[in-house]
Amino acid sequence: MTDSTTSPAAAPGLPFEQTEMHPQRWGSPDRAAALPESARGLVEMAFGVDERPALESPALPAPAIEPSLLDALRDLVGAEHVITDDETRRLRTRGKSTPDLIRARTGDLSDAPDAVVRPGGHADVVAVLAWAVEHHVAVVPFGGGTSVTGGLAARRDGYAGLVSLDLVRMKSLLAVDPVSMTATLEPGLRGPEAEALLAEHGLTLGHYPQSFEYASIGGFAATRSSGQSSAGYGRFDALVVGLTVATPTGDLTLGSAPANAAGPDLRQLLLGSEGAFGVITAVTVRVRKLPAVKLYEGWRWASFAEGAAAMRTLAQTGLLPTVIRLSDESETAINLARPEEIGGEAAGGCLMITGYEGEQAAVDAKRAAVTAVLEGLGGTALGEGPGEAWAHGRFNAPYLRDSMLDVGVLVETLETATFWSNMDTLYTSVKSALETSLGAGTIVLCHISHVYETGCSLYFTVATKEAEEPLAQWQAAKVAASDAMIAAGATITHHHAVGTDHKPWLAQEIGPVGVQVLRAVKAELDPTGILNPGVLIP
């Protein structure tokens, strides 16, 4: 194993500058934009355009923690790493769900942390946790700040204060093992930073969720993230072979082998623990060779059902491409605003994207085999145009959401997963629940974003005219959709985690005994309950 501690400052070639996100929008403030003219006509037609006033920086509540406690914290990690200015605290307030954005836009920053503390490594994290236990301060681990389920909106009542544990200084590639094809990463590395460091070794993680540009390694692990290339590279929890976790009870170091039978797999208990059991301070992941070739293309299917059946066939015959996703008729129709990209105006049907990454020969072989199957099942090849268009815009949807909010259109996403035989039921019932709750003029789009031998995930995008009380409007729709998922026997979330928003349905999904197990583990690892209170555990 090469011990090659490097950090992104030393890594050339980051694809773009990593800035702080806008506190009231997704992503880089420089990339905020008005609704593109091409979309404006459609939006006008569908919802009407209700231009909102420009955003103002709302006032923050004053820090509600004893200053002497922060002095003690400064002694531990250095004064410059305990920050209380408004701007820093504002940027650590909640995540990026549409309700989060609406609250931030309307001036509600009541969940702001009292301070932001930036540990420099594992030992600092341990020290901060001990301080938090001693003084009963709530601690919210913060990586990329991209939660869309309230994972950063911890409860503060009953605590002496609430601090955001910002992992921004923990951005090293700690080790690379080119023989075992593993790498050990610190949790604060954002997606592009981790890729840039690995690329210096000719390696890639291959994990590209839509939040890739901002989300962090620690967050991927803590939320069981799944990337757009999951068919080829695997979900993040499948990529993890080892973890180091600091908990108030002590450290956990897990991962002595690729797989074993030494009792339950405790890695899978910490993956998905959302900062409620401990703070992940290092993650050892499988890595792959940087692909020589990346090729994306489009396919057209007569119906969502036919496209889904083709995906199932590929998954069950071991022929999955690196990327595979399928839009339903509605989502495809929206894309028809750009007809040149999906094969002409008369195209219709459903658009599938397939992508191949790897060595040229392997890509050629896989592509030929997949093409034969898809053609045999009635798919129409659309060439690389739609694939390239998808790849080019793959991280941009959240920016579009902001532009829609700017003109009074509420846009939000939610997702679930189930077994293949249940997919149609789930699709119909969630779509119907959303449409019924939000009423006429609501647009519900869906795509299959991740596939397995036994089932798939469904990712819904909803757009509707913002009501007088948009938070209540969305909350009712969210409840209806979530109830429909559980009633269908599906999961409340395939890759967005539980946070605070999904807790009632998690409780239904795993049942009372499952909840008791989570509580027992929480009580053991975090007996005074300082870690992300109110998050994850029903």
Which residues define the annotated binding site? 141-147, 223-226, 274-280, 401
Which position among 185, 295, 495, 500 is part of the footprint of its own copies (CB under 8 A)?
Answer: 495
Q: Angle formed by the axes of helices 397-406 and 37-47, to 10°?
A: 60
CA quadruple 41, 459, 236, 27: dihedral positive or negative? positive
The answer to whether residue 404 forms part of the interface with its own copies (CB under 8 A) is: no
The answer to whether residue 92 forms part of the interface with its own copies (CB under 8 A) is: no
Which position among 286, 300, 325, 447 is part of the footprint of its own copies (CB under 8 A)?
Answer: 286
Distance CA 344, CA 350 (A): 13
For every residue of 87-128, DSSP letters joined together read: HHHHTTSS--SHHHHHHHHTT--TT--SEEE---SHHHHHHH
In angstroms, give the least distance from the CB of 69 to its own copies: 26
In angstroms, give the least distance from the CB of 97 to its own copies: 15
The answer to whether residue 210 forms part of the interface with its own copies (CB under 8 A) is: no
Number of residues located near its own copies, criterion CB under 8 A: 90
The answer to whether residue 268 forms part of the interface with its own copies (CB under 8 A) is: yes
The answer to whether residue 237 forms part of the interface with its own copies (CB under 8 A) is: yes
The answer to whether residue 191 forms part of the interface with its own copies (CB under 8 A) is: no
289 vs 392, which CB is nearer to its own copies? 289
The answer to whether residue 494 forms part of the interface with its own copies (CB under 8 A) is: yes
Let me know if 459 is a catalytic residue: yes
In which residue are the tokens 């790493």 written? 81
For every residue of 140-181, DSSP letters joined together read: EEESS---SSSTT----TTSS-EEEEEGGG---EEEEETTTT
18 vs 482, which CB is nearer to its own copies? 482
Known binding-site residues for FAD equal 141-147, 223-226, 274-280
The answer to whether residue 414 forms part of the interface with its own copies (CB under 8 A) is: no
87 vs 453, which CB is nearer to its own copies? 453
In angstroms, give the least distance from the CB of 460 to its own copies: 15
Is 248:236 a contact under the CB 8 Å cutoff? no
Is 240:221 a contact under the CB 8 Å cutoff? yes
164 vs 230, which CB is nearer to its own copies? 230
In angstroms, give the least distance from the CB of 271 to its own copies: 7
C-alpha to C-alpha distances, 434 to 13, 26, 153, 464, 487, nearest whole angstrom: 43, 24, 25, 10, 14
Tell which residue, 425, 191, 155, 462, has the closest CA to residue 308. 425
Distance CA 177, CA 183 (A): 6
33 vs 517, which CB is nearer to its own copies? 517
202 vs 339, which CB is nearer to its own copies? 202
14 vs 515, which CB is nearer to its own copies? 515
The answer to whether residue 430 forms part of the interface with its own copies (CB under 8 A) is: no
Q: Find the binding residues for its own copies in span 161-190 (CB under 8 A).
A: 177, 179-182
The answer to whether residue 419 forms part of the interface with its own copies (CB under 8 A) is: yes
Is 217:187 a contact under the CB 8 Å cutoff? yes
Which position among 356, 420, 459, 460 is part of the footprint of its own copies (CB under 8 A)?
Answer: 420
Q: Find the binding residues for its own copies in span 313-372 (CB under 8 A).
A: 316-318, 362, 365, 369
Distance CA 136, CA 138 (A): 7
In which residue are the tokens 């009292």 written? 114
DSSP element (H, E) containing 2 = none
The answer to whether residue 1 forms part of the interface with its own copies (CB under 8 A) is: yes
For every residue of 208-232, DSSP letters joined together read: --TTTTT-BHHHHHHHT---TTHHH
The answer to whether residue 249 forms part of the interface with its own copies (CB under 8 A) is: yes
In angstroms, give the least distance from the CB of 128 to its own copies: 18
In angstroms, give the least distance from the CB of 410 to its own copies: 24
Known binding-site residues for substrate equal 401
**Helices and strands per DSSP (H, E), number in the chain:** 18, 18
| Amino acid making up residue 66 | E
In angstroms, give the least distance from the CB of 534 to its own copies: 14
Active site residues: 459
